[in-house]
Amino acid sequence: MRGLLLTALLALVPVPRAQAVWLGRLDPKQLLGHWYVLAVASRERGFAVEKDVKNVEGVVVTLTPENNLKVLTSRHGLEGCNQNIVQLLRQNSGWVFENPSLGVLEYRVLGTDFKDYAIIFTQLEFGDEAFNTVELYSRTEMASQEALRLFTKWSKGLGFLSRQQAQLQKDLTCARKILQ
């Protein structure tokens, strides 16, 4: 019943500004290191059409001396593998990160077992498009059943439709460029 009520309440929140709450404490040092992005739920315009051709991404998370996160990503683009580095600044409230000048309004961990997987929520705004995503980070090329279950639970709980969710294609070419 409580889950149904939470889902109903989240459905009332305007889609681009849905708030995600992580209950617990995160030591960002536990998020550091290499990750594969194996699944994504996104409200980005065009995601539902393109989701079937999206490949596994690579992510390397490091911590700066100021307790900000530096996130290096490698994903497949039109011209091959694209790498990007984003520095995320720690917000005053807990371990929530942002960089509004780059369009990242919120980056936080929704759930993790601190060693195998992390469920990441990101709220983005690029030009006139505001949207959010939920990503399944995994330390290995295959996600555990628990990780997939929690990814699905968080995605549905935040109101993502099945067409807005995808397990990424097992092409690891771009991910391996930064993970080896």
180 residues of the chain, pLDDT tens digit each: 434 333 333 333 333 334 444 445 666 678 899 999 999 999 999 999 999 999 999 999 999 998 899 999 999 988 899 999 999 998 876 678 999 999 999 999 998 888 899 999 999 999 999 999 999 999 999 999 999 999 999 999 999 999 999 999 999 999 999 987
Q: Can you tell me the distance from the alpha carbon of 100 to that of 130, in angstroms, rounded to the nearest whole number?
A: 12
pLDDT of residue 26: 63
Domain positions in the chain are 2-179
> pLDDT of 91-116, one tens digit each?
876 678 999 999 999 999 998 888 89
| DSSP three-state, residue 88 | strand
**Residue 71: both structure tokens together:** 């996130």
Angle between helices 145-157 and 2-12 (to 10 degrees): 50
Please identify which residue in the block is written with the tokens 């709220």: 123
Pick the CATH number of 2-179 from 3.40.190.10, 1.10.540.10, 3.90.1170.50, 2.40.128.20: 2.40.128.20
Question: What predicted TM-score, i.e. pTM, was given to this entire model?
Answer: 0.85
Cα 154 to Cα 34: distance, rounded to the nearest angstrom: 22
Residues 165-178 pLDDT 10s: 999 999 999 999 99
